[in-house]
């Protein structure tokens, strides 16, 4: 294993995540995200500079979260984890690679045009499965709906609190310790 550094990245999924199981039986998800880099112009505007692709690997609970998100190509995501650099030996010599080992993956709700829909059918299936009943979608043979149910939009940011009016000089707080300059001049007695 090589060096690693904490990082977070926002980007778009390049391909549907590959769900696999490790030799030890732990879930693992692998996918690639494209991260757009921007440069600031002298006039203050931002222009796209380059796109950098990052391989992402998630294990355990993070891999299960990726599977639950049912990500598709183009979906905006936020990935938090470690940027890991690896060196390995091949017939041609020493090679190097880097990847993001994700601790958390989530949809980026701040991206333009993104809405998050909760899947009501999935909630019903989960409740039925825990009660021992056959889920409705399984009984009908139809796959669960991709997006059904209530729609979620992030709440707007609240306005800043009102400014506190200045207190009159007569109501200024008394210092907790004496001021040597004030004592020398006789002020404050």
Domain residue ranges in the chain: 4-114, 115-154
- Cα dihedral value 88, 92, 93, 95, nearest 10: -40
How far apart, in whole angstroms, are the C-alpha atoms of residue 108 and residue 74? 12
Q: Which of the pair, 135 or 81, is modelled with greater confidence?
A: 81
Whether the pLDDT of residue 24 is over 60: the answer is yes
Nearest Cα neighbor of 103 from 12, 7, 23 is 7
Strand pairing class (27-40; 4-13): antiparallel
Whether the pLDDT of residue 136 is over 80: the answer is no
Per-residue pLDDT of 96-134, as tens digits, reads: 889 999 999 999 988 776 666 666 544 444 443 444 444
pLDDT of residue 163: 63
Q: Is residue 186 very low, low, confident or very high in pLDDT (cuts 50, 70, 90)?
A: low
Q: Is residue 39 very low, low, confident or very high in pLDDT (cuts 50, 70, 90)?
A: confident
State the pTM of this model. Answer: 0.57
Q: Which of the pair, 186 or 64, is modelled with greater confidence?
A: 64
Q: Is 104 exposed, middle or buried (0-12, 13-18, 19+ CB in 10 A)?
A: middle
pLDDT of residue 125: 45
Question: Strand (E) positions, 14-162?
Answer: 18-21, 27-40, 46-59, 76-90, 93-107, 116-117, 151-152
Q: Which of the pair, 180 or 140, is modelled with greater confidence?
A: 180
pLDDT (average), residues 23-32: 95
The correct answer on CATH 2.40.50.140 for the domain covering 4-114 is yes
Residue 107 pairs in a beta bridge with 77
Q: Which of the pair, 150 or 87, is modelled with greater confidence?
A: 87
- Residues near 169 by Cβ (< 8 Å), separated by ≥ 6? none
């Amino acid at each position: 294993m090589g060096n690693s550094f904490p990082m977070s990245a926002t980007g778009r999924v390049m391909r549907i995540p590959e769900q696999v199981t490790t030799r030890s039986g732990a879930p693992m998800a692998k996918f690639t995200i494209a991260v757009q880099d921007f440069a600031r112009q002298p006039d203050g505007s931002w222009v796209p500079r380059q796109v950098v692709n990052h391989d992402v690997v998630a294990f355990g609970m993070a891999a299960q979260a990726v599977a639950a998100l049912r990500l598709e190509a183009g979906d905006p995501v936020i990935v938090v984890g470690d940027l890991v650099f690896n060196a390995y030996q091949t017939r041609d010599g020493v090679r190097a690679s880097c990847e993001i080992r994700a601790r958390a993956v989530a949809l980026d709700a701040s991206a333009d045009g993104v809405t998050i829909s909760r899947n009501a059918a999935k909630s019903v299936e989960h409740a039925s499965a825990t009660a021992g009943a056959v889920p409705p979608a399984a009984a009908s043979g139809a796959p669960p709906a991709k997006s059904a149910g209530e729609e979620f939009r992030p709440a707007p940011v609240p306005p800043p609190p009102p400014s506190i009016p200045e207190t009159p000089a007569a109501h200024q707080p008394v210092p907790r310790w004496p001021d040597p300059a004030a004592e020398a001049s006789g002020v404050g007695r």
